[in-house]
Amino acid sequence: MHEELSLTLQIAILAAQVGVILFAAKIAGKIFSFLRMPAVLGELLTGIIIGPYLLGSVPIAFHGLEKGLFPFISNSQCVSTPLYALATFGSIILLFMSGLETDLRQFFRYSLTGTCVGIGGAVFSFLFGAWLGMWLFKVPFMDPRVLFLGILSTATSVGITARILSERKCMDSPEGTTIMAAAVIDDVLGIICLAVVLGIAGASGSGGVNWGKIGNIAIKSVGIWLGATLLGYLFAHKIATVLKKSGQSAEFSVLALGLALLCAGLFESAGLAMIVGAYVAGLSLSRTDIAFALQNQLRGLYHFLVPVFFVVTGMMVDVRVFANPQVVKYGLIFSLLAVLAKVIGCALPARLLNFNTLGALRIGIGMIPRGEVALIIAGIGVGTMMIVDGKKVPIINAELFGIAIIMTLITTILAPPLLSFILSIKKQGTKKPLADDGKSLHHTYTFPSETIRDMVLKVMQEHFYSEGFRHSSFDRDGEIISFRRGAMVFSLVIEGNSLIFESDSREAVIIKSVMYETFVEIRRTLGELQQHASLFGKNMLEAIPETKMEKVDIPVPKKQSVVPERVLLDLKAENLEEAVKEMVTFLTGKEGVLDAERCAADVLKRESISSTCMEQHVAFPHARTKGVDRFLVGIGISRKGLAPTGEGKENVHVVVLSLASPGFDHPYLEFVAHAANVLLKKENVQKMTQAATPEEVCRLFNTEE
């Protein structure tokens, strides 16, 4: 930022820069997600495009922006200091959240296999990357540039792999669990190596290789890391207890983030990277019952700062180096070595243990993507100086950064389709079934429908909460929910209409007790509801006086749901059940209908519970169903009238069928209420039954206040 600009204008420009970054990153992320590619690649590409080497330096006719919105600053710092600082905060919160999400229990369960696989992948990757650096720079092994290439190759972005494993329902498979455990080992080794290399870089230029000094740096780095991790492990629950005394989750989440920032600053002062301290802070708190609350409360800040980090990282890519054939050449070579190193280094130990060739390949391929982890390390290398020929130069220069970006892009893009393909092979990946350790127990509860499942889940979560357990967030699409209280941890897998608990024997008793109390409470509640069933009357509107109902102002949705293509003027059905099936068949083939049989079944199931027939010759059958992918309305007119259903006394002439997908976020019952408002007027019902065209029905229905 130009020094002559006022402080207010500098802040205004920074605000505009962040706003552009957020919008551009969001759009690019959506596009890449639609293409089934990691959103981080879109954010990285966005940074390259809008950065100082391309569009960012285009002059803008505005005071302070004469050199562009993202002007080139200097060779050592291509973006402004405030923007770079904001990006650094993004990397800190990224590693803090990564530490919080680390499942130490899963790691310990598969510690032997995961440790062997992680060490194998880290060693092979480091040696392959370092060999490339020695060949490229013609320098000895201990040169910081060589070591940094080794660390870049070692990094693993398991988040991309985890998404594929989750989509394939393989997260808790032997291969999936081993990959996740090995990734923890990779992270640990990578962070330790990073700390050592940063220390070596700081001692560079003193002439020769001082092995004693390097040994001291290594011992210091490992000692600080392991010491801080051990202290965090021992005092995590006490720290969490103190944090919880500060108030609600929003308040202690801010303090926890402050603790992560404090650790990051202390680690940087000690000669280690800030991200090391942030990761240790998150890892320590991952075992506490506030970990899930921290993830939920900090998620918004994560989605704000992390894209800024990746976009700014992309801005550091000097696209001019891609015109250099040598950069492209070495980038492709680095990518090939990075792929081979992980496949060989991880698959070989797995093959020597309990995995067959297929399972070993799955593990090796799952460890390929470098993703955001490599970008973080590369960004640190860009900002870290070393002494070469008496001059301070960045460890990662523009050419080397371009090589690292090519490797990151190729490994990240290559891994998802390869892993998805090899997981689609329906064969066992282990030589023999894993022996049951006697500790992992499964309890399955299957319910008649997802509605009942969700009701049980809600009450059950409240009971666990009252017992002191905290849990991760629940997604309607289904996933694994983790419950934690102190050192007690168990998981809940949601599959269709089933709730599947996985726990040790000591948690099994608590799970069964809570589920029993859940069923008792639901049964008691339903019994009380049945005793007061008379409150609801004989139909959906009987309890509401008609004079009051006519005065209710329920607006028509802005996007009209009733269209002529979904109006059937002459129903052939004899009763409401036949009419529902006839209307669903009529709607089949039109946009939005996925499964006609399921639509009809779900509507009739809802109708069997409580009839929607009203005394004004109308019926409002409706349901949330997976048979559609949106909100749909169909109107059927029966000239002769449908036979009354249940206790109805009058024939039905107008049927308003409403279908909404489970994930539809519009309150579709509001539309049903609007329809009832319109059809409470007998003249409207008469006009509809006499309508000559579907357009007349739609016009009356959509314009009625």
Whole-number Å distance between alpha carbons of 705 and 683 = 14
Which residue range(s) make up the domain with 597? Answer: 546-703
Q: Answer with the residue of higher pLDDT: 81 or 102.
A: 81
Q: Which of 345, 369, 400, 352 is nearest to 128 (CA)?
A: 345
Q: At what angle do helices 371-383 and 291-315 cross, to 10 degrees?
A: 60
Confidence of residue 27 (pLDDT cuts 50, 70, 90): very high
Confidence of residue 705 (pLDDT cuts 50, 70, 90): very low
Contact (CB, 8 A) for 305 and 89: yes
Is 366 a domain residue?
Answer: yes
Q: Which of 498, 499, 518 is nearest to 510 (CA)?
A: 518
Q: What are phi and psi of 642, to 5 degrees?
A: -90, 145
Contact (CB, 8 A) for 88 and 79: no
Span 165-177, mean pLDDT? 66
Q: Answer with the residue of higher pLDDT: 221 or 42.
A: 42
- The two tokens of residue 618 are 């109308």
Q: Are residues 624 and 576 part of one domain?
A: yes
pLDDT of residue 257: 92
Is 660 a domain residue?
Answer: yes
Whole-number Å distance between alpha carbons of 347 and 364 = 5
Q: Are residues 458 and 418 part of one domain?
A: no
Whole-number Å distance between alpha carbons of 408 and 405 = 5
Residue that terminates a domain, selected from 423, 438, 465: 423
Span 345-365, mean pLDDT? 89
Amino acid identity, position 229: T
At which residue do the structure tokens 């399921």 appear? 598
Q: At what angle do helices 668-679 and 682-689 cross, to 10 degrees?
A: 90
| Maximum alpha-carbon separation in the chain | 101
Is 74 a domain residue?
Answer: no
229 Cβ contact partners less than 8 Å away, ≥ 6 residues apart: 280, 283, 284
pLDDT of residue 478: 46
Q: Answer with the residue of higher pLDDT: 257 or 6.
A: 257
Q: Are residues 450 and 382 part of one domain?
A: no
Q: Are residues 565 and 513 part of one domain?
A: no
Whole-number Å distance between alpha carbons of 251 and 248 = 5
Q: Are residues 471 and 386 part of one domain?
A: no
Is 441 a domain residue?
Answer: no
247 Cβ contact partners less than 8 Å away, ≥ 6 residues apart: none
pLDDT of residue 443: 80
Most confident listed range (130-144, 181-195, 198-212): 130-144
Structure confidence by residue, pLDDT tens digits, 230-244:
888 888 888 888 888
Whole-number Å distance between alpha carbons of 88 and 82 = 10
Whole-number Å distance between alpha carbons of 567 and 632 = 12
Least confident of 46-50, 88-92, 459-463, 535-539: 535-539
645 Cβ contact partners less than 8 Å away, ≥ 6 residues apart: 575, 576, 577, 607, 611, 613, 619, 652
Q: Are residues 330 and 277 part of one domain?
A: yes
Instruction: Give the CA distances from residue 354 to residues 109, 176, 361, 366, 521, in Å, rounded to whole numbers and listed in that order.
Output: 15, 14, 13, 17, 46
Instruction: Examine the pLDDT at 542 and tell me if it is beyond 80.
Output: no
Is 310 a domain residue?
Answer: no
Task: Report how many domains make up the chain.
Answer: 4
Instruction: Examine the pLDDT at 552 and tell me if it is beyond 70.
Output: no
User: CATH no. for residue 600?
Assistant: 3.40.930.10
Q: Are residues 499 and 413 part of one domain?
A: no
Confidence of residue 549 (pLDDT cuts 50, 70, 90): very low
Structure confidence by residue, pLDDT tens digits, 430-447:
877 655 444 456 788 888
pLDDT of residue 203: 61
Is 65 a domain residue?
Answer: no
634 Cβ contact partners less than 8 Å away, ≥ 6 residues apart: 566, 567, 568, 583, 584, 586, 587, 656, 657, 659
- The two tokens of residue 287 are 């075992």
Instruction: Examine the pLDDT at 115 and tell me if it is beyond 70.
Output: yes
pLDDT of residue 21: 93
108 Cβ contact partners less than 8 Å away, ≥ 6 residues apart: none
Q: Are residues 455 and 417 part of one domain?
A: no
Q: Are residues 456 and 517 part of one domain?
A: yes
At which residue do the structure tokens 């949705």 appear? 557
Is 96 a domain residue?
Answer: no
Q: Answer with the residue of higher pLDDT: 674 or 451.
A: 451
Q: Are residues 554 and 632 part of one domain?
A: yes
Most confident listed range (108-112, 402-406, 470-474, 481-485): 402-406
Residue that terminates a domain, selected from 389, 423, 457: 423
**Is the pTM here over 0.85, yes or no?**
no
Confidence of residue 261 (pLDDT cuts 50, 70, 90): very high
Whole-number Å distance between alpha carbons of 556 and 675 = 9
Q: Answer with the residue of higher pLDDT: 390 or 46.
A: 46
Confidence of residue 108 (pLDDT cuts 50, 70, 90): low
- The two tokens of residue 344 are 């060989």
Instruction: Examine the pLDDT at 465 and tell me if it is beyond 70.
Output: yes
pLDDT of residue 285: 86
Q: Answer with the residue of higher pLDDT: 128 or 172.
A: 128
Q: Answer with the residue of higher pLDDT: 665 or 572.
A: 572
Residue 657: which H helix or E strand, with range?
strand 652-660
Whole-number Å distance between alpha carbons of 144 and 204 = 8
Instruction: Give the CA distances from residue 231 to residues 92, 221, 291, in Å, rounded to whole numbers and listed in that order.
Output: 20, 15, 17
At which residue do the structure tokens 């923890």 appear? 184
What percent of the chain is modeled with pLDDT above 90? 7
Q: Are residues 461 and 348 part of one domain?
A: no
Is 219 a domain residue?
Answer: yes
Q: What are phi and psi of 393, to 5 degrees?
A: -135, 150
Instruction: Examine the pLDDT at 551 and tell me if it is beyond 70.
Output: no
* Averaged confidence pLDDT in the chain: 78
Q: Are residues 293 and 383 part of one domain?
A: yes
User: CATH no. for residue 486?
Assistant: 3.30.310.10
Q: Answer with the residue of higher pLDDT: 208 or 355.
A: 355
User: CATH no. for residue 388?
Assistant: 1.20.1530.20
Whole-number Å distance between alpha carbons of 194 and 274 = 11
Whole-number Å distance between alpha carbons of 598 and 240 = 48
